[in-house]
Amino acid sequence: MQKMCLGIESTAHTFGVGIVTFSGEILANVKSTFQTEKGGMIPIEVANHHEKVKQTIFDKALKEANCTIKDISLIAVAVAPGLSPCLFVGLNFAKQIAKENNLPIVGINHSIAHLTIGNLVCKINDPVYLYVSGPNTQVIAKSGNKFRVFGETVDVGLGNMLDKFAREIGLGFPGGPKIEQLAKKGKNYIELPYSVKGMDVSFAGMLTKALRSKAEKEDLCFSLQETSFAMLAEVAERALAHTGKKELLLIGGVAANKRLGKMLDEMCKARGANFFAVPLEYSGDQGVMAAWQGILQYKAGERTDIAKLDIRPYERTDEVDVIWSS
Ligand code: AMP
Ligand code: MG
């Protein structure tokens, strides 16, 4: 039987367990996401959710992979960055499993795992990454042995901007998919601030102007998408030109947006590059990415003393040494 890694994710709203073989075959992806009727996430409440579901998610993942814990060779756990109470649930659970079964353990950075799972499922190696989630909007690429952030939002993330607009006009949460549907019916382009500063983008002015506008909501949704997505296409193109890389990979929750994918695909085609978007299952938070990132680090020779493994709530993407080769 192939060697397998069991990965645990608990950095924020999702508790997930993934099982992946050392050659990259995904055998299980089971998760549970904390939700509220209204209001946001209170870290302690989210951690309680994770505590409650952890054993069930773990059991379901082994069942889905059709194996037992005796078949697992490595435990990986996301220890950075994230909400401390949530990170502790995953770390303590991972340590318990590793100790009980005498397994090696590896701690991984969640943001980096978002990038490397994209490489695995899209079968690419060294792209420019456009990472657009609720809070994040970043253009990232590997340079030397670090993932560098080439550009990012100077205020809100694109997903949060779309969610805020949707909430204010009464569309509910999450707003991104609803805006995408309404935008299809938009006919008139309403001029909104197009704000690119070097490699950075800003969405706050656009949001304010759209909220103050009296235009039809379909036209506003259409114009918000066209303007913000064009800004992202511009900075992504500049990153491709600057780094000489030939692939663009779209990751994060907003990657589900078909219009964004189409604009980026057209930009890539025009300059002889290839565009990829991470499929929805693997673009949000899950344990598969922790498992695969653990395998990359373990295969590159990383060995961790279980007693010393701790959470790193504030670790940045560009602080991690890339010791693995793909
Ligand atoms: P994440 O933070 O990666 O979990 O992604 C969640 C964000 O993705 C939320 O802000 C959603 O509104 C946004 N999102 C999800 N689907 C779409 C879509 N089809 N178009 C635009 N945004 C989306
Ligand atoms: Mg995430």
The β-bridge partners of 31 are 16
What is the rounded distance in angstroms from the CA atom of residue 252 to the CA atom of residue 255? 6
**Token couple for 113:** 């795992």
Global pTM? 0.93
What is the rounded distance in angstroms from the CA atom of residue 295 to the CA atom of residue 147? 18
Task: Tell the residue nearest (CA) to atom 11 of ligand 1.
Answer: 176
Assess contact for 106 and 22: CB atoms under 8 A. Answer: no
| In the block, residue with structure tokens 């690419």 | 124
Assess contact for 211 and 165: CB atoms under 8 A. Answer: yes
- Specify the pLDDT at position 37: 67
Assess contact for 21 and 27: CB atoms under 8 A. Answer: yes
Ligand 1 atom nearest to 256, measured from its CA: 19
Helix (H, G, I), strand (E, B) or coil at 56: helix
**Token couple for 286:** 């899950």
Ligand 1 atom nearest to 285, measured from its CA: 4
| In the block, residue with structure tokens 């949000």 | 284
**Token couple for 294:** 């653990």
Let me know if 92 is exposed, middle or buried by CB neighbors in 10 A (0-12, 13-18, 19+): middle
Which residue among 33, 129, 162, 179 has the greatest number of ligand 1 atoms within 8 angstroms of its CB, and so is best to mutate?
A: 162
- Specify the pLDDT at position 173: 75
> First and final CA of the chain: distance in angstroms?
23
- Specify the pLDDT at position 36: 72
How far, in Å, is the centroid of ligand 1 from the Cα of 221?
A: 14
**Token couple for 220:** 């506003």
**Ligand 1 lined by 157 (C-beta under 6 Å):** no
C-alpha separations of 1 from 22, 73, 270 in Å: 11, 11, 45
Q: What is the mean pLDDT of the chain?
A: 96
Stretches in the chain below the pLDDT threshold 70? 37-40, 326
What is the rounded distance in angstroms from the CA atom of residue 178 to the CA atom of residue 31? 24
- Specify the pLDDT at position 91: 98
- Specify the pLDDT at position 76: 98
How far, in Å, is the centroid of ligand 1 from the Cα of 9?
A: 19
Assess contact for 142 and 150: CB atoms under 8 A. Answer: no
For the chain, domains (ranges, CATH) are: 4-114+283-319 (3.30.420.40), 124-280 (3.30.420.40)
Nearest ligand, CA of residue 179?
A: 1
Phi/psi at 268 (nearest 5 deg)? -65, -45
22: number of Cβ within 10 Å: 17
**Ligand 1 lined by 176 (C-beta under 6 Å):** yes
Assess contact for 283 and 251: CB atoms under 8 A. Answer: yes
